Structure 1
Amino acid sequence: MFNLPQALKRLVIGKAMRSEELGETLLPKRLALPIFASDPLSSVAYATQEILLVLTVGGTAFLYLTPWIAAGVVALMVVVVASYRQVVHAYPSGGGSYEVVSRNLGPNSGLVVAASLLVDYVMTVAVSVASGVDNIISAFNGLADYRVPMAVGFVAILAAMNLRGVRESGKAFAAPTYLFIGAILIMIITGLIRALFGDTPVAESAAFGIVPVDGKDTLAGLGLLMLGLRAFASGCTALTGVEAISNGVPAFRAPKSKNAAATMSVMGITAIVMFVGVTALALMSKVHYVDDACQLTGIAGDCSGYTQQTVIAQLAASIFGGTDSILFYVVQAATALVLILAANTAFNGFPLLASILAEHRYLPRQMHTRGDRLAFSNGIIALAVVAGGLLWLYGADVTSLIHLYILGVFTSFTLSQIGMVKHWNRVLADETDSSVRGAAHRSRIINALGAVTTALVLVIVLITKFTQGAWLAVLAAVVLWVMMRGIRRHYDAVADELAIDDPREESVRPSKVHGIVLVSKLHKPTLRALGYAQAFRPDSLEALTVAVEQDATQELERQWENLDVQVPLKVLDSPFREITKPVVGYVRTVRRTSPRDAVAVFIPEYVVGHWWEHLLHNQSALWLKSRLLFTPGVMVISVPWQLSSAPRADHPARRAPGSVRRGEPARAKDVPEPEKV
């Protein structure tokens, strides 16, 4: 029988993979780089832009701060990359910051990191996709009205690709990432060579003046410091996603730690080179980028209808000779692609972290389950739904979303570096080998420096972004932390409740078993249920019906007598035409009369083949089961009757391995071997 949903599922995610094929999904470094590092690599497309966006509130007066702020971002990138290389070697199991903090600072601190990272992964998807859509609109202004549908659609495509498995998504995303790196490096080299020979590129927006926000052009002292810190905090978006490699170490080929550390180094060097190059060219070409286009002077026509090109778009146009150049569209296409694919870092990091948290009983166990393609499908779907909702809620606007960003990642940076310092302290306390102690001392210095710098940035981000929307990210992380604690308490309470205290007492048999078969009509499903109940050989057995309509009940009694059914039929009165309440009340009465006895309730049920048939059958049975399951000492047993529309197990396409069709001789390979005891 053709199954349309199953066919569509196979079309989207591909053929199911066996569990032992997990090793075939491990990644070489060339695929791991675009999968785990596309976020920090792509951030060069908007990190410089965010710095300029903050500084231009004062007109052009404070753009001289840009190189110093960029230098601070680069220094921080070096420290963070060096610090996380230590994490990769010390904790190769893939927990990253969460594992480091949980082991060294305790589970509650670990949950703070986990909640922060989960929120940040969601924001990575939202910001990256929104920024990618911005670059598409920079090349094709007519698409501006379709910003939100495009963004949500890209999230759905990313989710579908990741549901096909880590390796397949890596193959699909590798080419655009490397194309972006190549395009940006060619743009930087071309622009610098032109500047070296006296032909410095000039951006389109260089001709526009900038009207400062009221009072912002005269900032000095503390006000100027706060402006600089706010610009630095925005520029630190370049560091998002750095920790994803430390979370994904298990996905690397052996030697895992060595390959992950090497990939992190390549990522750091490449990101720094591109960020410095883009920032230098933006200053040389005098790019002006503002929050509100009406701050620009010299625009022809209505400023409210003017769409600013992104910094990358302005640089590509000025370096390659305008928007008619094919290289301009190559840069824009590569930038848009990699920004959208940068969300793939989160699509790998979020499910991995959620899986570890589920294994530790902080998230639902379903998050630890691998799908048909050995990916953590539930985590991928959850991330796509939440990120898509954020894009819809905020209109896929980068400026609105960016304020919710980077807070979580710097929380995890800071706590993980503090945890690593404690880790090295423990190593130094136990180690006597001088060479190992020397390496531990160096590592401790690196992590201590990382802890101090990232803590400083965290404070800056909190101060400068909290009132602009970052409080929502803080609130989301707090809610998530409380929720995970509650989930862990629930799982712990269930485990305690189910633990065996006294095996003899827990395994004691009931004195008797009372069998009850629920009956509405006398037909084939009823007879099957009666026969099935008799096969159980209960100490007593009776059929039970509810007299909702007197005529129908009398007809049932007449048929029961005519067919000479050897099971007594008990009729319950129901003056208010209820079914569930009289049955549940009767079963509870039986239980109260004989507390040491068990009651087995057999319910005939239809098995249907179409979703809409569920609406026509089984509603009473489902409601009865849900009520009876809450009664201690009562077993509810469904006796299925397959309607003609239901798929049959003996259908050639659906037979279980080793099964034999009725009337077909068994072959040797069809007969299962006896189990060894």
Structure 2
Amino acid sequence: MASPTSLLKRLLLGRPFRSDRLQHTLLPKRIALPIFASDALSSVAYAPGEILLTLSVAGAAAYAYSPWVALAVVVVMLTVVASYRQNVHAYPSGGGDYEVATVNLGPKAGLGVASALLVDYVLTVAVSISSGVDSLGDAIPLIGQHKVITAVVLIAVLAALNLRGLKESGLLFAIPTYLFMFSIVGLVGWGLFRILVLGQDLKASSAGLTILPEHGMSVATSFAFAFLLVRAFSSGCAALTGVEAISNGVPAFKAPKSKNAATTLLLLGTISIAMMLGIVALSLMTGLQYVESPKDQIVGATANYKQPTVIAQLAEVVFNHFPPGFYLVIAVTALILVLAANTAFNGFPVLGSILAQDRYLPRQLHTRGDRLAFSNGIMFLAAFAAVLVVAFQAQTTRLIQLYIVGVFVSFTLSQIGMLRHWNRLLRTERDPVARRRMNRSKAINGFGAVMTGFVLILVLLTKFTHGAWISLAAMAVIYAVMLAIRKHYDTVARELVPSEERPVLPARNHAVVLVSKVHLPTMRALAYAKATRPDTLTALTVNVDTADTRAIQAEWDRRGISVPLTVVDSPYREISRPIIDYVKSLRRESPRDVVTVFIPEYVVGRWWEHLLHNQSALRIKGRLLYESGVMVVSVPWQLDSTSATNLDRLDRSLARTPARGPRPGEDGYVKTHD
């Protein structure tokens, strides 16, 4: 019978997959689109709102500029999509921006991109979940009152779903994502049909509100308003987040991988642009108003005024005679915002695995779990995102200020790297057709580098004091941590390289058996120590209690054990220190000798029994491992709780676990997964 922990794990994750089933987890385009594009598609739900919210600072008249701001965002999105289509053909291995920057600009640039992407993935989860909770709060007041708890629970649910495997989670997310696309297209299409064809005068619930500019700002103040337009543009560029996920996830596609990834990118860009422009146009036609500070900008608004989201306002006016349509749009919008975090749950673990393989992150992140997902990376991401949600109280407006800095750092460095990639190939390519194709790709990536670099500068100028500095600081910290990890692994590797000299054998081996009582574990340890044929053999006990020590000596003599029993005093009732001092004294007398310490240990079969046994043995072992020239041998004694049933359960568990041998250069032990 399986343990409760094993049953719970199987219930949450399902049965483990064999390593040779990895090919069966690859994705067709129809499943890859909702998996990798849910983040970019969900941006449609809040990017138009961010444009309107920023423009509201100058008053209601500034909303007339929203289509032009949206068109500028569309130009950047088209550029980025076209640029990344070049990336996935040139670098299909899944390294994405990190690989492009590392290969073409050097390891430091690659590490800068990696730190930016890691920050962006964590923020993607935090922003998407928080935004989804906001939308759910519009329909369910209880959720609005407990946003933080709801957000953390949703992060945990997403992590559990992703631990079940990429393809399985994709099947779960495909229906809501396609339903969201259908709902938004239906909302925009029906709204425009009612206005343009039927001639109906649709007005959003906020159309009649009086909006005041902030701090006396207005459209008339040219310089300040120009800066505001730039801010609105940089906020709208949140719609571009998630585009890079496809280039990082090319290995997850079915063959032909690059072609399928490029097609998915094109579909993503086309759908996102159409939905975003439709929402902005419909917002303008219905007079929708969405402000940054409702209680300060809306005349007559109280402190408790709850401002509906842009999607909620449009759904309310477009489906004013069809309530099910309104609730469908609200439900799927909230759902897609939550599921948008899934893009990060697919991108972060893959990038973490690549960085771990390059020794910039802990090796555990390179290990696949039972369901062939990078389980440790998934759990790391969930933990970091939950901390961020709690720290910012799940407030989307505060989190989104941190959001797009990282992604545009990676965009820009990646496009610069692609320019160097094409220049390198053009130096050796002589075929005119191939050169024309490369020059066309180079022109696309060059334009992309200019556009994304320009947006990055604007984002830094307009959002630095609003929270973007936090993202930059986090990127710097992660960059430094990854360098430190790489330095550690390099140092360890250098220390472990065998020298050309033949190892010098120790002159003698002194065996020391630790004795706490005269019982079966001690007798087994003595027998095993004798079997190793040491030069000297000593049984060692620590005198903490005089009566107990005398009882041990009496039993030792009564049994006629031939090995001498050495007693060391411990006036301060310590156990570890006297043993360490004794072992050190043997080493001082003969530095070329080796000391082997045999530690009898109980083996128990129940989890709670571990709390009752072997604590002293663990402490002693931990101290001895730091002593040069000292070998530590654990001699196990199995108690009755390690019954045949328990052993059979362990054997079945190990049999279900896919074998994972160490890669070259890794430690030669079995890694823990999940």
TM-score (norm 1): 0.94
Q: Distance in 1 between matches of 2:170 and 2:143?
A: 29
Q: Distance in 2 between matches of 1:114 and 1:52?
A: 32
From 582, 587, 590, the equivalent of 1:591 is 587
> Where do 1:53-68 residues align within 5 Å?
53-68=53-68
1:363 aligned onto 2:361: yes
1:150 aligned onto 2:150: yes
From 397, 404, 408, the equivalent of 1:399 is 397
From 344, 347, 354, the equivalent of 1:346 is 344
Q: Distance in 1 between matches of 2:42 and 2:338?
A: 9
Match of 2:95 in 1: 95
Match of 1:381 in 2: 379
1:59 to partner: Cα distance: 1.4
Do 1:602 and 1:638's aligned partners in 2 also have CA atoms closer than 8 Å?
Answer: yes
Match of 1:132 in 2: 132
CA 1:517 to 1:255, structure 2 compared with 1: closer, same or farther past 3 Å? same
1:328-348, Cα deviation, whole Å (9 max, x unpaired):
011111111111000000000
1:623-645, Cα deviation, whole Å (9 max, x unpaired):
11111000111111111222333
Do 1:207 and 1:298's aligned partners in 2 also have CA atoms closer than 8 Å?
Answer: no
Match of 1:665 in 2: none
CA 1:612 to 1:649, structure 2 compared with 1: closer, same or farther past 3 Å? closer
Do 2:125 and 2:342's aligned partners in 1 also have CA atoms closer than 8 Å?
Answer: yes
1:617 aligned onto 2:586: no
1:646 to partner: Cα distance: 3.7
> Where do 1:492-507 residues align within 5 Å?
492-502=490-500, 504-505=502-503
1:5-32, Cα deviation, whole Å (9 max, x unpaired):
1111111111111111111110011110
Aligned residues between the structures: 654
1:39 aligned onto 2:39: yes
CA 1:273 to 1:657, structure 2 compared with 1: closer, same or farther past 3 Å? closer
1:608 to partner: Cα distance: 2.5
Q: Distance in 2 between matches of 1:78 and 1:167?
A: 28
| Local SS of the residue matching 1:94 | coil
1:547 aligned onto 2:543: yes
Q: Distance in 2 between matches of 1:579 and 1:353?
A: 47
Match of 2:181 in 1: 181
Do 2:188 and 2:279's aligned partners in 1 also have CA atoms closer than 8 Å?
Answer: yes
From 508, 511, 514, the equivalent of 2:507 is 511
1:489 to partner: Cα distance: 0.4
> Where do 1:317-328 residues align within 5 Å?
317-321=316-320, 325-328=323-326
| Local SS of the residue matching 1:214 | helix
Structure 2 residue ranges without an equivalent (≥5): 656-674
From 509, 517, 523, the equivalent of 2:519 is 523
Do 1:649 and 1:655's aligned partners in 2 also have CA atoms closer than 8 Å?
Answer: no
1:141 to partner: Cα distance: 2.9
| Local SS of the residue matching 2:332 | helix
1:231 aligned onto 2:232: yes
Structure 1 residue ranges without an equivalent (≥5): 660-677
| Local SS of the residue matching 2:542 | strand
Match of 1:272 in 2: 273
1:317 to partner: Cα distance: 0.7
> Where do 1:110-509 residues align within 5 Å?
110-196=110-196, 197-217=198-218, 220-295=221-296, 297=298, 303-321=302-320, 325-502=323-500, 504-505=502-503, 508-509=504-505
1:368-417, Cα deviation, whole Å (9 max, x unpaired):
00011000001000000110111111111100101110000000000000
Do 2:36 and 2:343's aligned partners in 1 also have CA atoms closer than 8 Å?
Answer: yes
| Local SS of the residue matching 2:224 | helix
Match of 1:25 in 2: 25
1:568 to partner: Cα distance: 1.3
Do 2:595 and 2:631's aligned partners in 1 also have CA atoms closer than 8 Å?
Answer: yes
1:581 to partner: Cα distance: 0.8
1:43 to partner: Cα distance: 0.4
Identity fraction in percent: 55
| Local SS of the residue matching 1:217 | coil
1:579 aligned onto 2:564: no
Q: Distance in 2 between matches of 1:48 and 1:22?
A: 40
Q: Distance in 2 between matches of 1:414 and 1:658?
A: 47
The letter of the residue matching 2:110 is G
Q: Distance in 2 between matches of 1:620 and 1:254?
A: 56
Q: Distance in 2 between matches of 1:512 and 1:280?
A: 87
CA 1:7 to 1:415, structure 2 compared with 1: closer, same or farther past 3 Å? same
Match of 1:6 in 2: 6
CA 1:655 to 1:471, structure 2 compared with 1: closer, same or farther past 3 Å? closer
1:651 to partner: Cα distance: 4.1
1:2 to partner: Cα distance: 3.7
The letter of the residue matching 2:18 is R
Range with greater deviation from structure 2 (61-70 or 122-131): 61-70
1:616 to partner: Cα distance: 2.2
Do 2:176 and 2:332's aligned partners in 1 also have CA atoms closer than 8 Å?
Answer: yes
Provide the aligned C-alpha RMSD in A: 1.6
CA 1:657 to 1:65, structure 2 compared with 1: closer, same or farther past 3 Å? closer
CA 1:219 to 1:487, structure 2 compared with 1: closer, same or farther past 3 Å? farther
| Local SS of the residue matching 1:87 | helix
| Local SS of the residue matching 1:361 | coil
Q: Distance in 2 between matches of 1:170 and 1:513?
A: 59
1:552-580, Cα deviation, whole Å (9 max, x unpaired):
11110110011111211111111221111
Range with greater deviation from structure 2 (63-72 or 99-108): 63-72
| Local SS of the residue matching 1:307 | coil
Match of 2:51 in 1: 51
Do 1:57 and 1:290's aligned partners in 2 also have CA atoms closer than 8 Å?
Answer: yes
Do 2:605 and 2:646's aligned partners in 1 also have CA atoms closer than 8 Å?
Answer: no
Do 1:208 and 1:296's aligned partners in 2 also have CA atoms closer than 8 Å?
Answer: no
| Local SS of the residue matching 1:504 | coil
The letter of the residue matching 2:303 is S
From 546, 553, 557, the equivalent of 1:557 is 553
Match of 2:669 in 1: none
Do 2:211 and 2:299's aligned partners in 1 also have CA atoms closer than 8 Å?
Answer: no
1:84 aligned onto 2:79: no
1:649 to partner: Cα distance: 7.4
1:583-619, Cα deviation, whole Å (9 max, x unpaired):
0011111112111211111111122333333332212
Do 1:601 and 1:635's aligned partners in 2 also have CA atoms closer than 8 Å?
Answer: yes
1:56-98, Cα deviation, whole Å (9 max, x unpaired):
0121131122111100000000000000000000000000000
